[in-house]
């Protein structure tokens, strides 16, 4: 028997499905899962003034938790791999776009320093926004937490960012970026993750004013990777690199597969995604 629970997390809903678990045990496990999700949210929530991330942005120097340091280290790795196009230090630009304004931050990812367990922001414009990677990390962390509770196989849907663990397969359909009732492809997900970034998810007035600051010519990017944190970050990175630079970036990550639709509705496949688009599974 499978059991499913949806709960509020990070400004939206997260769905967790436990495979082959009886309902009485599932109810106990779900209570623990929700508590763990809320604990992780209190680390990364940009909009919560009491979160650890907000404390870093406010104080400019912080003795950070292992979770925050781990995710920040991954974000900075992708910043280096993209030559700074992917940059979590530019939260002020993101917040301005959400308000319908424009703002150009003078900082770069190099103004976020990690020294042991101390994190410092060394430019007044630097404001860390981890929305492009923290949701993925939380999905991974919840699956690890579920496994530690003795549930071998489960599925997490963090508002379209998906990961399945164990031996089950999930069919994933990729939404068309301009027609919500159509799909551009589908795949079988086995013990892996898929995340999608799209200009249609949040925008102000028009698609070219989406919540993704620095977007080039992609309307949608879907990435399949072993972890949801990596899929989440790579999808955002490819989106801001655009079609001309995506290939070189993804060649550095041969274990990751990507599928993108540009604003002219042309399809782009990277690292062998074509087979997956026909329903071929990806394992770890």
- 97: helix, strand or coil: helix
Specify the pTM. Answer: 0.90
State the DSSP code for 109. Answer: G
What's the CATH code, domain 166-277? 3.10.520.10
Q: Which residues pair with 33 in a beta bridge?
A: none
Per-residue pLDDT of 11-52, as tens digits, reads 889 999 999 998 888 888 999 999 999 999 999 999 999 999
Q: Which two structure tokens, joined as six digits, stand for 131? A: 């929305």
Contacts of 178 (CB under 8 A, 6+ apart): 200, 219, 265
Q: Is 186 left (phi over 0), alpha (psi -120 to 50) or beta?
A: beta
- Say what the pLDDT of residue 280 is: 43
For the chain, strand residue ranges (E) read 3-9, 12-18, 61-63, 112-115, 118-121, 154-158, 161-165, 169-175, 183-190, 193-198, 218-225, 257-262, 267-270
Per-residue pLDDT tens, the chain, 284 aa: give them. 899 999 999 888 999 999 999 888 888 899 999 999 999 999 999 999 999 999 999 999 999 999 999 999 999 999 999 999 999 999 999 898 878 788 899 999 999 999 999 999 999 999 999 999 999 999 999 999 999 999 989 999 998 899 999 988 888 888 888 788 888 888 889 999 999 988 766 433 433 444 455 556 888 999 999 999 999 999 999 999 999 899 999 999 999 999 999 989 999 999 998 654 444 444 33
Contacts of 25 (CB under 8 A, 6+ apart): none
What residue spans define the domains of the chain?
Answer: 1-46+131-159, 60-121, 166-277
Q: Which residue from 119, 135, 115 is spatially nearest to 230, judged by alpha carbons?
A: 135
Q: Which residue from 220, 226, 225, 254 is spatially nearest to 238, judged by alpha carbons?
A: 220
């Amino acid at each position: 028997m499978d059991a499913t629970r949806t709960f509020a997390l990070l400004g939206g809903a997260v769905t967790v499905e436990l495979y082959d678990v009886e309902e009485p045990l599932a109810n106990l496990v779900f209570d623990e899962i929700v508590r763990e999700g809320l604990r992780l949210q209190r680390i990364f929530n940009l909009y919560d003034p009491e979160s650890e991330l907000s404390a870093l942005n406010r104080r400019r120097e912080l003795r950070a938790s292992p979770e925050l340091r781990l995710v920040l280290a991954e974000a900075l790795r992708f910043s280096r791999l993209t030559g700074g196009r992917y940059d979590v230090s530019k939260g002020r630009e993101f917040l301005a776009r959400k308000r319908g304004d424009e703002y150009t931050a003078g900082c770069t990812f190099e103004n976020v320093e990690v020294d042991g367990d101390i994190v410092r922001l060394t430019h007044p414009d630097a404001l860390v926004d981890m929305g492009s990677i923290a949701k993925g990390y939380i999905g991974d962390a919840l699956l690890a937490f579920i496994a530690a509770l003795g549930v071998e196989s489960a599925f997490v849907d963090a508002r379209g960012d998906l990961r399945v663990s164990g031996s089950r397969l999930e069919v994933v359909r990729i939404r068309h970026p301009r027609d919500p009732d159509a799909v551009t492809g589908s795949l079988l997900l086995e013990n892996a993750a898929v995340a999608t970034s799209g200009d249609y998810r949040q925008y102000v007035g028009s698609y070219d004013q989406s919540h993704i600051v620095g977007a080039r010519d992609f309307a949608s990017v879907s990435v399949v990777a072993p972890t949801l944190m990596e899929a989440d970050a790579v999808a955002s990175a490819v989106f801001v690199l655009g079609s001309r630079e995506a290939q070189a970036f993804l060649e550095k990550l041969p274990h990751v597969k990507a599928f993108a639709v540009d604003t002219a509705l042309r399809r782009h496949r990277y690292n062998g995604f074509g087979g997956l688009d026909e329903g071929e599974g990806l394992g770890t």
